[in-house]
């Protein structure tokens, strides 16, 4: 089914959770680039096979957008999340470019799959284990803690929330606290003094911004109190970030790198719906403008 032509002003739907700072920046950026931005919550969308394109998206009046930017997919019941992802699948099936694709979002939301894909692509990344049941997690802890501590991470989580340092096997929480799924990653000790890691923002195959995040503790997320500072990433960092985004199929992504005690860069995580408010503090140009211009340019290709 062909898509409608929306005239000279492209119509871009941005899926959001809140009317936040990021939306204000994106609205200004897309407007300056000559596009119309329509903010919509995925929780308000659905499917309707009696409609021309089979979609229920508020504000579109039966049309298809020229492109979609996904800023957030709200959590909820299994059924609720399924229909939200289903809307993204349907948009893709109708030929609408979606940044990021639902496949990339699904891969990155699941930290264990991200780790698997990074390792499978030959990228340096900390060893990780994902197992059902505390007995299996205890076996891993008893074996691996001889070498180094472990970090227990929520399988679905962001902003540094829910991270737990595992120094002894007894530190593993009971199954009900982790929904009986344990995602463990080998802890990477600090390289040099203090704790720091690196966030690189990849957009359409290029690193468009980067920062160092420093903290007094081992959790280096801005929302958890880490301090950002400017970073000009070297070629190795940029190459790793681009390859990490490619490994998960993300068109734009926040890629987190860390250096091990030997100075080697490792890919920690890939975020398919990255925020950039902390990053914007240390970058002189508007990141939202870079994102908008590159997305609109891709629609013309």
Q: How confident is the model over 225-234, as a mean pLDDT?
A: 94
CA dihedral 84, 85, 90, 95 (to 10 degrees): 120
- Alpha-helical (H) ranges within 151-255 are 235-248
> Which residue, 249, 247, 251, is CA-closest to 69?
251
Gap between the terminal Cα atoms of the chain = 20
> Which residue, 115, 111, 133, is CA-closest to 179?
133
Is pLDDT of 106 > 50?
yes
d(CA 182, CA 152): 7
d(CA 243, CA 255): 10
Cβ atoms of 269 and 163 closer than 8 Å? no
Is pLDDT of 5 > 60?
no
Q: What is the mean pLDDT of the chain?
A: 93
What pLDDT, on a 0 to 100 scale, did the predictor assign at position 4? Answer: 41
Query: Which residues have CB under 8 Å from 187's CB, separation 6+?
Result: 126, 148, 149, 150, 151, 165, 218
Q: Which two tokens stand for residue 268?
A: 């920690």
Sorted by where each begins, the domain ranges of the chain are 11-99, 107-122+191-289, 128-186
For residue 277, give the 3-state DSSP assignment. Answer: helix
Tell the CATH topology of 11-99. Rossmann fold (3.40.50)
Is pLDDT of 3 > 70?
no
Please state, in angstroms and as integers, the Cα–Cα distance from residue 72 to each residue in 43, 58, 75, 139, 183, following that order.
10, 16, 9, 36, 23
CATH of domain 128-186: 3.30.1490
d(CA 270, CA 252): 10
User: May I ask the CATH architecture of the domain 107-122+191-289?
Assistant: 2-Layer Sandwich (3.30)
For residue 195, give the 3-state DSSP assignment. Answer: strand
Please state, in angstroms and as integers, the Cα–Cα distance from residue 197 to each residue in 35, 115, 154, 256, following that order.
35, 17, 19, 7
Is pLDDT of 267 > 90?
yes
Q: How confident is the model at residue 168 (pLDDT cuts 50, 70, 90)?
A: very high
d(CA 15, CA 21): 14
**Residue labelled with tokens 């096979």:** 49
d(CA 125, CA 198): 14
Q: How confident is the model at residue 62 (pLDDT cuts 50, 70, 90)?
A: confident
Q: What is the pTM of this model?
A: 0.92
> Which residue, 260, 169, 244, 155, is CA-closest to 207?
244
Q: pLDDT tens digits for 181-219?
A: 999 999 999 877 789 999 999 999 999 999 999 988 888
d(CA 187, CA 255): 18
């Amino acid at each position: 089914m062909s898509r409608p032509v929306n005239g000279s002003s492209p119509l871009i739907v941005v899926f959001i959770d809140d009317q936040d700072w990021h939306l204000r920046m994106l609205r200004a950026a897309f407007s300056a680039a000559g596009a119309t931005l329509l903010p919509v919550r995925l929780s308000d969308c659905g499917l309707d096979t009696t409609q021309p394109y089979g979609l229920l998206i508020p504000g579109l009046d039966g049309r298809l957008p020229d492109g979609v930017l996904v800023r957030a997919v709200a959590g909820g019941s299994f059924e609720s999340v399924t229909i939200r992802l289903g809307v993204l699948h349907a948009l893709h099936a109708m030929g609408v470019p979606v940044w990021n694709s639902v496949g990339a979002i699904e891969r990155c939301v699941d930290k264990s799959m991200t780790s698997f894909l990074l390792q499978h692509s030959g990228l340096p990344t900390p060893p990780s284990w994902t197992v059902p049941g505390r007995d299996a997690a205890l076996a891993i802890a008893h074996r691996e803690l001889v070498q180094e501590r472990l970090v227990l991470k929520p399988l679905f989580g962001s902003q540094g929330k829910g991270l737990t340092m595992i120094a002894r096997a007894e530190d593993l929480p009971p199954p009900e606290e982790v929904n009986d799924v344990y995602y463990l990653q080998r802890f990477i000790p600090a390289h040099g003094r203090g704790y720091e890691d690196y966030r690189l923002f990849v957009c359409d195959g290029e690193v468009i911004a980067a920062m160092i995040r420093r903290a007094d503790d081992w959790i280096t997320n801005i929302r958890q109190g880490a301090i950002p500072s400017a970073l000009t990433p070297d070629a190795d960092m940029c190459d790793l970030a681009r390859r990490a985004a490619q490994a998960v199929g993300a068109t734009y992504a926040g890629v987190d790198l860390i250096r091990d005690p030997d100075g080697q860069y490792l890919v920690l995580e890939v975020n398919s719906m990255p925020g950039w408010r902390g990053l914007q503090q240390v970058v002189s140009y508007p990141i939202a403008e870079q994102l908008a211009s590159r997305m609109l340019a891709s629609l013309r290709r």
